[in-house]
Structure formats: structure tokens, C-alpha cells
Amino acid sequence: MATRPETQGEAGGAGAARAVELHPDAVQRARATGAGVVRHTPVLSSRTLSDRCGGVVALKAENLQRTGSFKLRGALSKLAALGDGCASGVVAASAGNHAQSLAYAARARGVPCEVFMPADAPVAKSEAAAALGAVVHVGGGSVDECLVAAGERAQAGGLAFVHPFDDLDVVAGQGTLGLELLDDVPDLARVVVPLGGGGLASGVAVAVKSARPEVEVIGVQAAACAAYPASLRAREPRAADAVLTIADGIAIKRPGALTLPLVQRWLDHVAVVEEDQIAEAMILLLERAKLVVEGAGAVGVAALLSGQVRPAAEGTTVAVLSGGNVDAGLLASIARRHETEAGRRLVLFTRVADRPGALARLLVCVASTGANLLEVGHVREGVDLHVRETGVELVLETRGTGHAERVRAALHDGGYDTRPPG
């Protein structure tokens, strides 16, 4: 479902978000400060997405950015704005990407860095921040709690606090991605960008629409942490329920006081996608585009695949892949789930006589179908079995739904009951 953000000129109550300005020149200055460190990431055409979505779709592969996400742009912009004000060090709170990027930027600028991360932050992200030289404090139930802790540390230690999104210097840095889109896509018509705190989406929108007002910019949130639709209606930041999501990079409890009015003014729509749609997008990008993209980075593609957002009728629609920092375990779990749903991974339970040779005969039957045996296990407890029977669970690799059905039929014809245990 898409929500149209109200503009600052429309009616609002006493709680309406105050006007916030970000001049396009600030984005140009941020681009200059990041030169030599920020990588100009490629825009890749996608025949698969174009065919499936009914329009010309390309991918801005920001997952290939140094540190694996767009956050480096904002971190470098903020350190440049701080100048000597960050000589004692910087501190931040983050679920992972901002922590890594600030650690990288601080190392590049030769200043100390500390980051506070929630207890459930991906281990790979906390380890990456530490490997980049940051002092990592892990604890707290949310990024909001970590923001409080980081603010207290900044005051106590004389460190410069760098907010992950609610800071105009950070937003200006994120907007440099939009300048690259203007450079690389002459017929740019629509940009679909992940929306968490709002720094990336608003920065890109300011950069793009200041130069070409006709280009649409659409933000996409995960339904599990979609604070913007309610906040846009209320015209003030509203908290979202804390729900576990695979899009942890945009799992922000509430919009920022600065980013909300920027989103209201500059974005054309906000769409919301579900967890299953995000997982499907991650797998499609992995299989077809050969790109590893985290859940937060894949929400734009999820919106296109699900029909929440349509490609522009003319010109190119670009989906921003904002990051690629995903735990290998989560990616493997999503891949296994996809294989099962696609009929390429089949899990069966059956019963065999508990005597020598019975399992071998079952496996011969499986082999005759051309299925590949991945796992086999005996199950003797927790299911209804005759005293002289044993349960067998098979995990098979098949060539798709049709082949999986033929495997089931062959086992049935061989006298094996493959109904789930009752």
C-alpha cells in the first residue's frame, strides 16, 4: 500500500513537523568531502526485473560500497562538517551498517571511534566494526536504547555524537547517491529507495528532484517496522511496534525530527512490503543478478516484484540496493526456505520395518526417481509407530514442483506412506 506524504504547505495541526531545509549545494559539498573514499557504485540493468515488472528497471548496487552500505557517505560528510570538533573521537549507535561506516570513516580521518549496538545486532556487523578499529559496546534491547547510551558517552567523554540519520550533514552525504544517479541514468524517471530513519531517502530525493523535479522518488518500508505511514498522517514522529524483521538495517522505531519533514516535502510516495516479499527479492537478486543484498537493501525490489510500486511508463526506474551486510546463516535459511517453496527441496517422512535392509530398499526407490538425497535420519520418538517400525525423514533435492510430485508418487507406488506423522 502506498502513502502520499503531505507537503509542508498542506494543513497540519499543532504537532506538525517543523520545516527543515537541505540545500542541494550541501549535497555537492558532501560529494567533494567523500571523494577518494566513497566508491561510485554501478547502475546495473536487470532484464529479469524489467520483464517481470513491465518496465525498464535498473539496480543501483550500493551493496558494493565500501563497508557494504550507503552509510559511509553520511559518515564522511559528518566528520568533514565536524572538523576539529571530532579530534577527541566520535561515538554512534547503530544496528550495524552505520557502525561499520563510521568506524571506516573515522579510521580514514585518523580519529577514535566508539559504537553502541543492540544485543540482537548481527554478529557479522559488530565484528566488522571492531575489525575497523572501533570500540564496540553490545547491549540494549533496541537502537533507541543504544542512542541514549551513545549520547551519554558523548557527554561524559567529550566525544562527537554522530546520529545514524537525523542529522542534516549525514542526510547530505547520503544524497550523493542521488547525484550519481543523475550522472549515470540520463532517462531517470523513478527511484525506489529503502526508507528507515529517512536519511537516505530524503537525501536522494533532495539531490534528484532539485535537479529534475519530474523524477519520482518512492520510499519503501518493511511492514514489521513501518513507522512512516502513521507519522506522515500525524505529521509528527510516531513509534512503530518493535517486531523482528529480516530488514534490520531499516528497523527504526520512529522517524527523526529532521528527516520526517524532509520526507513529507520531497518524497512522492511511501510503500510497505511484507517479510515474505523481502525474502523473495533477496533470493531473486542472488540467483539472477548474482548480488548479495541484505533485507533492508532489497525492499525496493520487493515493492516492484509485489506490485506495490510500478515501474515508470517511460524512462528508467532504479531500485536502490542500499546494503549487502547479511549474516551467512540468515541468507542460507532464506535460500533453503525458497528452495522448499519452489519445489526444489523436498522433506518427506515415511515408515519402514525396523529390520536390516529396509532403509536400503527405501533409498533404492528414491534413487530410481532421480532425486538427490541430502539428509536421512531415523525418528523413533514422538510419532505413532508400530513396535517393529522406525520413522525415516528424508531431505531431497529435486528439479522443481513437478519432479517433487513424481517422487511422492513413486514412493507411494512402492508402498511407502509419506503423509506427515500424526
Catalogue the active-site residues. 71, 322
Quick one: which H or E segment has residue 302? helix 299-306
Q: What are the backbone angles phi and psi of residue 59, rounded to the nearest 5°?
A: -120, 125
Q: What are the backbone angles phi and psi of residue 321, rounded to the nearest 5°?
A: -90, 95
In angstroms, rounded to a whole number, what is the distance separating the alpha carbons of residues 289 and 46?
Answer: 7
535537479: which residue's cell?
211
Pairing, β 2-3 against β 269-273: antiparallel
In angstroms, rounded to a whole number, what is the distance separating the alpha carbons of residues 165 and 71?
Answer: 9
CA nearest to 209, candidates 193, 235, 189: 189
Pairing, β 316-321 against β 56-61: parallel
Q: Where does 95-242 have alpha helices with state H?
A: 97-109, 123-131, 143-157, 168-174, 176-184, 199-211, 228-234
CA nearest to 123, candidates 138, 135, 107: 138
Quick one: which H or E segment has residue 282? helix 275-288
In angstroms, rounded to a whole number, what is the distance separating the alpha carbons of residues 170 and 82?
Answer: 11
Using CB atoms within 10 Å of the CB of residue 230, give its burial: 0 to 12 exposed, 13 to 18 middle, 19+ buried: middle
Instruction: Name residues whose C-beta falls within 8 Å of residue 416's C-beta, 6 or more positions apart in sequence.
Output: 350, 351, 352, 362, 365
Contact 100, 127 (CB under 8 A): no
